[in-house]
Chains A and B, each alone.
Chain A
């Protein structure tokens, strides 16, 4: 039972344009959400997070939006750079649990 879903396995974007990666979740108890970036042969690297008390969090080129009513979050990268090419994982947890639930990832390719 996949509680966090990333329905787009891949995405290609031109350098300089916006990349939008989407994530849906089913568990209404989730209250903290994270995005990780993963290069081949490396572990996931934390990118940005958002608490359920917010609907937006911004860090440089990266912004995460949370829509609690739709149980949906998205990661915006603008402007996209070739070095952003990686697999992006969405993850979620609740303050009553210890697990982080991950989506299956979206492979982003930024074309120079």
Chain B
């Protein structure tokens, strides 16, 4: 079984400060890991994904995440927060690129606020 936990349901940072959103996962098979962003009243947009290649993954909008197997973590970071980063962020896990079985488990989400 797979599961995802996100520490901190709400995170506030100042504009220009480091963004750190925490994600820990549990998986009985090598996981594929994802970060999605959701802006108010919109669907989900993929920020980045880990698919068993490089452990440091770079995504869109300056975000990156590092896969640490020993810590079962996949934390999301951005060096300098921008006002437009204010949104809900979801960490997610799946079993891999099996088109015939594509179940994604999402974490509860972290709401990011950026203070001017």
Co-complex (A, B): no
B residues contacting A by CB (< 8 A) are none
A residues contacting B by CB (< 8 A) are none
